[in-house]
Copies of this chain bind each other. A is one copy, B any other.
Amino acid sequence: MTAAGDNQRTVALLWGEAITPTRGPKPTLSAARIARTAIDIADTEGLAAVSMQRVAASFEYTTMSLYRYVGGKAALVELMVDIALESPPAPDASADWRARLETWAQAGLERYRRHPWLLGAATAEHRVMGPHELSWLEAALDALSGTPLTVPEKHDAFLVINGHVRNVAQELAHSGGDAEWNATMSGILDRHGDRFPTLTAALSSGEHHTVGADSLQFGLACILDGLAAQIARRQR
């Protein structure tokens, strides 16, 4: 299968290991430029609007010319992800693990808000991680380096926090303005509410659930409290 070769080429691109040829015409484009243009499109029109033809048209180039640089659509998306994740939160050695993880989570949420398509792009398979994506992992592990947690536990902690950030971002991406969805769902609950007593009671309680910045805080506080308990248990 050609997947191995493709993977090889994608890894080389992501990690800057590609060999630059000397002969022939100078390339006028670059993988990074293509990816950045694709990111612009995805930011404003969504990931679905990113097609080879669309990106090529932004340069007034032919569709096929892109294949000289990025190998395929999958590779392009992986590049987009890694470039969108550049400049991860800088480790601040003076803060304790909790504060560092909080800023980490906040930075992650902001990144997801700036590039909502990241949520859909990272979903697919076990992607090869690029340098920037790895840096985020590195930063999270580094924040926990002073704690007595084991390596797998640190990894698990990263998993939990990252998952929470992703989830809040997903919720934020859809909240607000979706009046039609609200109407549809409340119509459904009007007709079938008897099957969901707790839910109906919750919705009619008047305390509406507005997704906002505090959505991150509540869950994050839970997770970090639990983590602190683990750490305290370990230190005894």
Q: List A residues at the B interface (Cβ < 8 Å).
A: 4, 7, 11, 15, 17, 119-120, 123-126, 128-129, 131, 134-135, 137-138, 141-142, 145, 150-157, 159-160, 162-164, 166-168, 170-171, 174, 178, 180-181, 184-185, 187-188, 191-192, 195-199, 202, 205, 207-210, 215, 218-219, 221-227, 229-230
B126 and A174 contact, CB distance less than 8 A: yes
Pick the contact of A138: B153, B198, B218 (CB < 8 A): B198
B192 and A131 contact, CB distance less than 8 A: yes
19 further A-B pairs in the complex, CB-CB below 8 A; given A7-B180, A128-B185, A160-B164? A123-B123, A128-B181, A134-B196, A138-B196, A141-B199, A151-B207, A155-B209, A156-B209, A157-B219, A159-B215, A159-B219, A160-B219, A163-B163, A163-B164, A163-B166, A164-B164, A222-B226, A222-B227, A222-B229
Pick the contact of A156: B163, B166, B218 (CB < 8 A): B218
Residues of B within 8 A of A4 (CB): 180
Interface of A is mostly: helix
A135 and B196 contact, CB distance less than 8 A: yes
What number of copies of this chain does the assembly contain? 2
Residues of B within 8 A of A166 (CB): 163, 167
Residues of B within 8 A of A180 (CB): 4, 7
* Contact status of A11 and B167, CB under 8 A, knowing A198-B142, A222-B230, A225-B225: no
The distance in angstroms between the C-alpha atoms of A131 and B156, with both chains bound, is: 33
Pick the contact of A202: B141, B163, B164 (CB < 8 A): B141
B222 and A184 contact, CB distance less than 8 A: no
Q: For the complex formed, measure the closest distance between the CB of A223 and the CB atoms of chain B, giving whole angstroms.
A: 5
Residues of B within 8 A of A159 (CB): 167-168, 171, 215, 219
A195 and B131 contact, CB distance less than 8 A: yes
B223 and A152 contact, CB distance less than 8 A: no
B156 and A219 contact, CB distance less than 8 A: yes
